Amino acid sequence: MLLRRLSLYLVTAWVAITVNFLLPRMMPGNPVQQLIGKLTGQVTVQQVRAIELAFGIGLHQNLWDQYIGYWHQLLVGNLGVSITLSTPVSSVLQSAVPWTIGLIGVSTILSFLVGTVTGTLLGWFRGSRLDSLIPVATFFQAVPYFFLGTVVLLVFGSNLHWFPVLGAYSQSVTPGWHWDFVFSLVRYGELPVITIVLSSVAGWMLGMRNMMITMIAEDFVLMAVAKGLPRRKVIMHAARNAVLPSVANLSLAIGLVVSGALLVELVFNYPGVGDLLLQAVLNEDYPLIQGIFLVITMTVLAANLLADVFYFVLDPRTRTEAAV
Amino acid sequence: MSERPTTSEATTLEDDTVLAIEDFCVDYGWGDAAVRAVNHVNLSVRRSRVLGVAGESGSGKSTLVYAATRLLRPPGVISGGHVSLTFDDPTSSDAKRRTVDLLAATPSELRAIRWSQVSIVLQSALNALNPVLRIGHEFDEVLSTHRPGMKKAQRRERAAELLSLVGLNADRLARFPHELSGGQRQRVMIALALALDPQLVIMDEPTTALDVVTQREIVNELAQLRARFGFSMIFITHDLSLLVELADDIAVMYAGNVVEWAPANDLYGAPRHPYTLGLLNSSPPLSGERRELVGIAGSPPDLSQPIAGCSFHDRCPFAFEKCSSQAPELRVLDDSGRKVACWLHDSPADVPVALRRRPRDATRVGAQTPSNAEGVV
Ligand SMILES: Nc1ncnc2c1ncn2[C@@H]1O[C@H](COP(=O)(O)OP(=O)(O)OP(=O)(O)O)[C@@H](O)[C@H]1O
Ligand SMILES: [Mg+2]
């Protein structure tokens, strides 16, 4: 199963890269002239060159050779040069991507854990007062990320000053692997993470709750009771199986969280890809847009693969299927 | 509640009773919507004996044992009766026998009794074993929960020993349930059920999902294990012929009622209730002889509707007026102590031949019962 998924992801990656290559070359008219016109006069030679490279103009090569060349550049990590920043796209991304991956990673894992644990309890103790959590969580899920982020920022950040806001860490500490910085990082990350978790937790919670209710009817849960196991262990028997669909959905959810997280980054002025992408789009900085697109695609694919491996580890039945 | 015997009396009066079920009623649903699935049942399981419970699907066999062991899930409700379990108390120093009122037991009392005194094997071992856990984990878990003193290595050794009892190799411990065959899985369940030397093992159609050969093998193994370890057993099945070798007593259930109770051989050789006769005719005979299998015409009654008279009357080939108006009670029939709930036996002269046979002409029953052939489907 894992191998099949892996090849699927490889094909997806290839399609994404190829589309990324073709898209600018398909643009009608002469985008280069338009862009150069936009840059209001101060066009350097490098900028023109960067634009031409991105659109495959003036290379005097056929499409196939360009494609091969594109792959070559890609494999050595060369994503072209940003038009507006005049720096290589790869180095621009290098400073932004870790923030986004960190933010999304932490939020997704946290949301998954919180949702799964509460969903387990909601399912087991269904009909109890815990059920009142459900409408609350659904409400937060219904509110758009952007809106929730703004409200949270204004109320808890700007007005109540419970959390520091804007940026990823305090300007008064120097980045590095020391305690002050990590602490500042966590403090500044709290609100964006809370926003993303609030918006996405309901899905995990309800999914887990419903699966738990299904599992409770299973014979092996009855057997766990019949064995005189303490309640905690009985719940674990059910939860261990109920979590499988959630893990299977993890891959799907990651893609959704990414789009939301980019918006949240904008709200909180987080130095991740979200802000970068907005700037790039506004300035029509095609090489940068392409680079961001590629990185997001690859990250989501990698995360999917991780989620699949996780599932594979959790469900022994998939392992024998693979062997057959 | 007031008139039931106190604990000590019960112990002295019926010293060899392990499980006593008295006037037990179980419903599904509440109030007007309640469906009576077990109706005033009295049964007892004696020490080191096997009680067979037979009956068609839906007759309330599973409900009876789940409710009696407090494993019934909503919407099942215990609506009356008493259930008590008597066992050698492992916690008391002089190994005295102790009786516990199962219906009044607290969750922690129940947890202590479960599996260590009463274990259960379900029809489908595939569903009864947690699909994501290794077989070894199931053993380790019950042992570590109930025998906290045991070391990890001892638990493993015990698990291997238990598997060898049912003819499985210890390497199965590292397997997942889906990697075993149906028969192996059911053997694992049986081994697991014996892990803590329980007083009582409940088998709810443990062999129904298996092929006939495996079914036989497992029943034989069970008989040997029971003889060796001396636990009591409730064995639930559709198939009366399976019970003859295994059971000491057989209770036949129909629509939530016990309609006949008798020592296994008496019941098999000389049924007294028309429903028992029908069941015998519809199950393959023990010995090799071939005969036509005859199903019981009609189907079990809809329990949600009130039943006037005997619940079996509309399917009974011998029914007469009284049967459709008054419900018969389970009454002692003769000196052997066997009980039957049937009006036919009120006037011994009118009892149909098929229900009058003497226990001795046994084991051939099926071949000579043309009497209810009218209902053949
Ligand atoms: N969850 C439930 N809700 C409502 N009615 C139920 C429920 N479970 C069982 N019943 C009813 O209770 C009656 C007895 O069911 P039970 O499962 O005890 O029968 P059984 O004799 O064990 O049958 P089988 O041989 O098929 O296992 C049936 O008529 C069934 O319709
Ligand atoms: Mg049943």
Nearest-CA distance A320 → chain B (Å): 8
Cβ of B131 within 8 Å of Cβ of A230? The answer is no
CA dist., res. A241 & res. A314, Å (int): 9
Q: Which of A225, A228, A320 sits opposite B116 (nearest CB)?
A: A228
Contacts of A314 in chain B (CB under 8 A): 132
Q: How confident is the model at residue B7 (pLDDT cuts 50, 70, 90)?
A: very low
| Minimum mean pLDDT range among A252-256, A312-316, B140-144, B366-370 | B366-370
CA dist., res. B233 & res. B51, Å (int): 6
Residues B184 and B265 in one domain: no
Write down the pLDDT at residue A92: 84
CATH number for position B286: 3.40.50.300
Tell me the average pLDDT of chain B: 84
Tell whether A240 is within 8 A of chain B (Cβ): yes
Q: How confident is the model at residue B366 (pLDDT cuts 50, 70, 90)?
A: very low
CA dist., res. B95 & res. B109, Å (int): 18
- Closest residue by Cα to atom 1, ligand 1, is B75
Write down the pLDDT at residue A65: 81
Share of chain B above pLDDT 90, in %: 51
Cβ of B129 within 8 Å of Cβ of A220? The answer is yes
Tokens linked to B252? 């036949």
Residues B259 and B350 in one domain: yes
Of B174, B197, B220, the residue that ends a domain is: B197
In this structure, which ligand is nearest to the CA of B122? 2
Whether B158 has a pLDDT exceeding 50, the answer reads: yes
Write down the pLDDT at residue B298: 78
**Sequence-distant (≥ 6) Cβ neighbours of residue A132 within 8 angstroms:** none
Write down the pLDDT at residue B21: 95
Q: Nearest-5° angle of CA A242, CA B28, CA B313?
A: 135
pLDDT per residue over A189-235, tens digit each? 888 888 889 988 998 999 999 999 999 989 999 999 999 999 999 99
Of B108 and A38, the one with more pLDDT = B108
Range among A218-232, B79-93, B308-322 rated most confident: A218-232
Q: Which helix (H) or strand (E) holds B20?
A: strand B17-28
Tell whether A228 is within 8 A of chain B (Cβ): yes
Of B207 and B66, the one with more pLDDT = B66
- Whether the CB-CB separation of B64 and B253 falls below 8 Å is answered with yes
| Minimum mean pLDDT range among A31-45, B144-158, B255-269, B276-290 | A31-45
Distance A104 CA to ligand 2 centre (A): 49
Q: How confident is the model at residue A60 (pLDDT cuts 50, 70, 90)?
A: low
pLDDT per residue over B184-222, tens digit each? 999 999 999 999 999 999 999 988 878 888 888 999 999
pLDDT per residue over B318-327, tens digit each? 888 888 888 8
Residues B283 and B351 in one domain: yes
User: What dotted CATH number matches A98-314?
Assistant: 1.10.3720.10
Tokens linked to B346? 């009120």
Identify whether B214 is part of a domain: no
Sheet holding B35-46, edge to edge: B35-46, B17-28, B76-88, B97-101
Tokens linked to B364? 């051939």
Ligand 1 atom with minimal separation from the B59 CA = 21
Query: The complex's ipTM?
Result: 0.84
Whether B351 has a pLDDT exceeding 50, the answer reads: yes
Average pLDDT over residues A75-101: 81
Whether B122 has a pLDDT exceeding 50, the answer reads: yes
Write down the pLDDT at residue B92: 63
CA dist., res. A292 & res. A306, Å (int): 21
Residue ranges of the alpha helices (H) in B194-273? 212-229, 240-246, 264-269
AA identity, residue B167? G
Query: For A323, which residue in chain B has the nearest alpha carbon?
Result: B179
Q: How many CA atoms lie within 13 Å of B71's alpha carbon, on the beta-carbon side? A: 31
Cβ of B145 within 8 Å of Cβ of A227? The answer is yes
Write down the pLDDT at residue A102: 87
Average pLDDT over residues B325-349: 85
Write down the pLDDT at residue A32: 63
Identify whether B338 is part of a domain: yes
Under DSSP, the state recorded for B251 is E
Q: What is the DSSP string of A86-141?
A: -SBHHHHHHHHHHHHHHHHHHHHHHHHHHHHHHHHHHHHTTTSGGGGHHHHHHHHH
| Minimum mean pLDDT range among A84-98, A233-247, B99-113 | A84-98
Contacts of B73 in chain A (CB under 8 A): 216-217, 222
Ligand 1 binding pocket, CB closer than 6 Å: B 28, 35, 37, 55, 57-63, 75, 238, 303
Identify whether B343 is part of a domain: yes
Q: How confident is the model at residue B11 (pLDDT cuts 50, 70, 90)?
A: very low
Share of chain B above pLDDT 70, in %: 87
Give domain limits for chain A: 98-314
Other beta carbons within 10 Å of A114: 17
Q: Which of B71, B127, B146 sits opposite A225 (nearest CB)?
A: B71
Of B185 and A257, the one with more pLDDT = B185
Whether B291 has a pLDDT exceeding 80, the answer reads: no
Tokens linked to A108? 């997704």
Rg (CA), chain B: 21
Average pLDDT over residues A278-292: 83
Write down the pLDDT at residue A117: 95
- Per-residue burial over A66-91, b = 16 or more CB atoms within 10 Å of its CB, e = otherwise: bbeebeeeeeeeebbbbbbbeebbbe
pLDDT per residue over A100-133, tens digit each? 888 888 998 999 999 999 999 999 998 888 888 8
Q: What's the structural domain count of chain B?
A: 2
pTM, entire model = 0.82
Surface-to-core class of residue B216, CB atoms within 10 Å of its CB (0-12 exposed, 13-18 middle, 19+ buried): middle
What are phi and psi for residue B76, nearest 5 degrees? -70, 135
Q: How confident is the model at residue B372 (pLDDT cuts 50, 70, 90)?
A: very low
Write down the pLDDT at residue A40: 60
In this structure, which ligand is nearest to the CA of B59? 1
- Closest residue by Cα to atom 29, ligand 1, is B58
Cis amide bond preceding B370, omega within 30: no
Q: What is the residue whose two structure tokens read 């099945």? A: B237
Of B155, B179, B197, the residue that ends a domain is: B197
Rg (CA), chain A: 24
What are phi and psi for residue A53, nearest 5 degrees? -65, -45
CA dist., res. B354 & res. B270, Å (int): 8
Whether B123 has a pLDDT exceeding 90, the answer reads: no
**Domain interval for residue B320:** 255-368
